[in-house]
Amino acid sequence: MQETPLSDNREALAFVDSLRKGQVDTVVFLTGVGAKTLAESVAGECSITELVQLLDRCTVIVRGPKPAAVLKSWGVRIDGRAAEPNTWEELLPELERLDAVQDRCVAVQEYGVPNDVFYDAIAQRGGRVMPVPVYRWSLPEDTRPMEQGIRDTVAGVFDVLLFTSAHQLANVLAVAERLGLQDAWRQSAASCLVGSVGPTATSALQSAGLRVDIEPAHPKMGPLVRETILEAISRTRPPSSPGAR
């Protein structure tokens, strides 16, 4: 998958205009690449220096370490951070703790697709949502590696499948359907050890009818790989014979 910046991002420019007019109370950054893309998309109208000054007037909340790192590099004050596993659900307590949602305009830097469930949760708490789309998820320019991976899964080449994003599954299923292999891929995936980086990816996999065997305690690539390896080893180790030590 790849992030494709929006070519004509009027919403991002409208967001900057609203910041200048003092109409935004809270800004939520969901991804690091989204924060960078937002700054790039408005660079012709708003310098990074001005953007930082405008954000400092607001309550700023981040979903995870990646947007936090980007904002820190700019010198933006961060008021709240979602706890692990860093999903939108962990953002809600931070919004409430900081009194940043009730009767507030909450701008949300989107990631790939609108999160309508998150927006509904903000509205239910008395907030007004301002979506700020900056990119859309799309297929990679070269889908041949993915196509080969799908064929290899169907052929039984893989024992383990790892997913680090919910949208990865959407793309795999779309390409498998195009190849006429979606049903075969699903059947083969059911025979593999399936690892998911966190709750959002897990929910997508389970909604698609796939079993999730591993979800690490910390939603990061390193723990996902380590815990998957340990699980794979435990499944392949021969059982101890009675009386063996």
**Whole-number Å distance between alpha carbons of 37 and 43:** 10
Helix (H, G, I), strand (E, B) or coil at 216: coil
**Whole-number Å distance between alpha carbons of 66 and 167:** 18
* Total-model pTM: 0.81
User: Given a cut of 70, is residue 244 above it in pLDDT?
Assistant: no
Q: Are 131 and 113 in contact (CB under 8 A)?
A: no
- Compute the C-alpha angle 225/230/234, nearest 5°: 145
pLDDT over 70 percentage in the chain? 96
> pLDDT tens digit string along 81-116?
999 999 999 999 999 999 999 999 999 999 888 999
- Kindly report the backbone phi and psi dihedral angles of residue 62, in degrees, each rounded to the nearest multiple of 5, phi listed first: -120, 150
* Domains within the chain, CATH numbers bracketed: 2-137 (3.40.50.10090), 144-236 (3.40.50.10090)
Cis upstream peptide for 85 (omega within 30°): yes
